[in-house]
Amino acid sequence: MKPERGPLRVALLGCGVVGSEVVRLLREQADDLAARVGTPLELAGVAVRRPERVRAGVDPALVTTDAQGLVTRDDVDIVVEVIGGIEPARTLMLEAMKTGKSVVTANKALLAEDGATLFAAAREYGADLYYEAAVAGAIPLLRPLRESLVGDHVHRVLGIVNGTTNYILDQMDSGGAGFNEALEEAQALGYAEADPTADVEGFDAAAKAAILAQLAFHTPVTAADVHREGITEVSAADVAGAKGMDCVVKLLAICERVPSEGGRNGRGVSVRVYPAMIPRTHPLASVREAYNAVFVEAESAGSLMFYGAGAGGAPTASAVLGDLVAVARNVVGGTPGPVEVTYAKLPVLPMGETVTRYYIHLDVTDEAGVLATVAEEFARHEVSIQAVRQVGLGEEAQLVVVTHRAPDAALSAVVEGLRGLDSVREVASVMRVEGEE
């Protein structure tokens, strides 16, 4: 039907962990790719920092340090950006789109910080901008959210989107290790980097939460909008407490539509990343080691979960190739794919207004009336208690309290208040409880 056209020419920016696997797949899957696109995909050039490095399977003649020149070349149809970071990635992608090229990227940091600029450019120049690999690596997640659930109404997205922290928390849960010990093991096994800040402090998860919230709720969200708490403070006692509740501690990225009285869109969205307890019966609870999974609750589709490897060169490259084929088909067909829409423009609500539940573990003095004093503190902030359990006696006396749902501001005011009580010797553990209705 369509006239035959020559091969589509792909410029690859970056040839590291992900880029080198993209090169491999372009070669190994060449026939399948050509069959799906309708014409072969051809590597036009590979931009790197250190051109002298030997790169398996890469024709040295294609390697260049002139990324800027490469993205503006006339014989390039599509640009794949796997350099990472804000600059020069942003400028290169903007240049590419300005000269009519479509872009595939895995760059979560950039999308979460300044996605709006990129989406605006895509719209202005009629270019595609695809980024499946930016969230949860190989797991096909953004495309289903964007395309399959387009006729549905997403209420909530709950995700384990960082493999490093899931590995650490899983070790703490199964082996009883403390955070530092589990982190060292993760580093030794290559699951955590030498500087683990981006992972353990939740920055990586927050970037992904912003991208997911934007897609799920058609509303602009940046990483800076995301309430973020990492896992460095999670103690063996927290994990043991979770076990006692038949729960497990996971670092969750949560994107939630906050309902309003009238109107289907709700009065805003809550986007947050923190360690929380979820029941062991929740599908996310069985996500072990460095795997990722994202649980989506939609009005008609109900509960969905997407599970798989969240990182790694080959899995991430698999997602890049999926996008590359979609973009290539659009180039061949002459129509760009769906552009990011943020027409809902819902406000991102502050954490204090987010409604959640707390688990609070207190070391208390063993006197008559302690429970009454503690309960009084909850009542003062209009937080109602779902269950309370007293453990031990004397010096060891402890109270475990689980609240009903309440605004986070009220819950944290309760914790402040408890800290000030004479009968409370220590607030040993505070953790949010998620994944229940």
When the beta carbons of 47 and 304 are compared against ligand NAP, the nearer one is 47
Q: Is 193 annotated as a binding residue?
A: yes
Residue 19, marked binder: yes
CB of 282 to a copy of itself, least distance (A): 10
Say if residue 18 carries a ligand binding annotation: yes
Binds a copy of itself by CB under 8 A, chosen from 16, 140, 350, 417: 140
Nearer to a copy of itself, 100 or 126 (CB): 126
Residues near ligand NAP (CB under 6 A): 14-19, 47-50, 53, 67, 82-84, 88, 106-108, 133, 137, 311-313, 316
- 108 among annotated binding-site residues: yes
Handedness of CA 247, 298, 211, 102 (dihedral sign): positive
Asked if 312 interacts with a copy of itself (CB under 8 A), we say yes
- Work out whether 314 is an interface residue with a copy of itself (CB under 8 A): yes
Complex with ligand NAP: residue 301 or 388, whichever CB lies closer: 301
What is the size of the binding site for a copy of itself (CB under 8 A)?
59
Per residue, the 3-state secondary structure of the chain, as one string, reads CCCCCCCEEEEEECCCHHHHHHHHHHHHCHHHHHHHHCCCEEEEEEECCCCCCCCCCCCHHHEECCHHHHHCCCCCCEEEECCCCCCCHHHHHHHHHHCCCEEEECCHHHHHHHHHHHHHHHHHHCCCEECHHHCCCCCCCHHHHHCHHHHCCEEEEEEECCHHHHHHHHHHHHHCCCHHHHHHHHHHCCCCCCCCHHHHCCHHHHHHHHHHHHHHHCCCCCHHHCEECCCCCCCHHHHHHHHHCCEEEEEEEEEEEECCCCCCCCCEEEEEEEEEEEECCCHHHHCCCCEEEEEEEECCCEEEEEEEECCCHHHHHHHHHHHHHHHHHHHHHCCCCCCCCCCCCCCECCHHHCEEEEEEEEEECCCCCHHHHHHHHHHHCCCCEEEEEEECCHHHCEEEEEECCEEHHHHHHHHHHHHCCCCEEEEEEEEEECCCC
Cα–Cα nearest to 131, from 98, 94, 82 = 82
Q: Which of residues 356-385 bind a copy of itself (CB under 8 A)?
A: none
User: Does 283 participate in binding a copy of itself (rule CB under 8 A)?
Assistant: yes
Q: Which is nearer to a copy of itself, 229 or 323 (CB)?
A: 323
Q: Is 101 annotated as a binding residue?
A: no
Instruction: Tell me which residues in 190-219 interact with a copy of itself (CB under 8 A).
Output: 218
Determine which one of 2, 98, 101, 208 is catalytic: 208
Was 337 annotated as part of a binding site? Answer: no
Question: Which residues, 144 to 163, sit near a copy of itself by CB under 8 A?
Answer: 144, 147-153
338 binds a copy of itself (CB under 8 A): yes
343: partner contacted, choices ligand NAP, a copy of itself, none (Cβ within 5-8 A by kind): a copy of itself
The smaller minimum CB distance to ligand NAP, of residues 136 and 362, is found at 136
208 is catalytic: yes
Is there binding between residue 128 and a copy of itself (CB under 8 A)?
A: no
Contact predicate 250/275, CB 8 Å: yes
In the region spanning residues 292 to 311, those forming contacts with a copy of itself, defined by CB under 8 A, are 293, 298-309
15 is an annotated ligand-binding site residue: yes
In the bound state with ligand NAP, the residue whose beta carbon lies nearer, of 202 and 266, is 202
Cα–Cα dist 387/381, whole Å: 17
CB of 19 to a copy of itself, least distance (A): 14
Q: Are 335 and 343 in contact, with CB atoms under 8 Å apart?
A: no
State the virtual CA torsion across 27, 32, 34, 38 in degrees, nearest 10: -170
Of a copy of itself, ligand NAP, none, which one sits near residue 197, judging by CB under 5 to 8 A according to partner kind?
none
> Residues 26-55: x/- map of binding to a copy of itself (CB under 8 A)?
--xx--xx-xx-------------------
Specify binding-site residues for NADPH.
108
User: Residues comprising the binding site for NADP(+)?
Assistant: 13-20
The catalytic site residues sit at 208
Residues that bind a copy of itself (CB under 8 A): 1, 21, 25, 28-29, 32-33, 35-36, 126, 132, 138-140, 143-144, 147-153, 218, 264, 283, 286, 293, 298-309, 312, 314-315, 317-322, 324-326, 329, 333-335, 338, 341, 343
